[in-house]
Amino acid sequence: MSAQHRRPDADIRSGLHPSFPGAETTLERVAQATAMHADAFAQPRTARSAAYMAGHLSCLLVRADRQPRTCPHQPGTPEFDAWFAGVEEAHALANKNRCERGQPCNCLTHCNDDL
């Protein structure tokens, strides 16, 4: 596995995070995560449920502030599934953005040339 595919733990410990370039504080990273979420749903696209959008935002916020969040829905419900589908899209979005900037990432979708 190349260096490009490894997590940049030293950068995260220093306050920098590759998903949020230029943001040195948690507040700045949260603002960027919120903007990234808003941009993802501002463009014309298939409508998504509130649970899906909540999962999407939750994932980006976890990346920004490192505070764990749990799904508020019961397993086996459509809302539970939608929430985690939103989380998956947010992971893909954040990893795609990191890859496009040449930042280290851990995605398989956009950086599978070394697999």
29-44 confidence digits (pLDDT tens): 889 889 989 999 998 9
Biggest CA–CA distance in the chain, Å, is 40
54-96 confidence digits (pLDDT tens): 999 999 888 888 888 899 999 999 999 999 999 999 988 888 7
Segment 88-105 shows an average pLDDT of 76
User: How buried is residue 54: exposed, middle or buried, by Cβ count under 10 Å (0-12/13-18/19+)?
Assistant: buried
pLDDT at 67: 85
Hey, where are the domains in the chain? 3-100
Would the pTM count as exceeding 0.75? no
Residue 112 has pLDDT above 90, yes or no: no
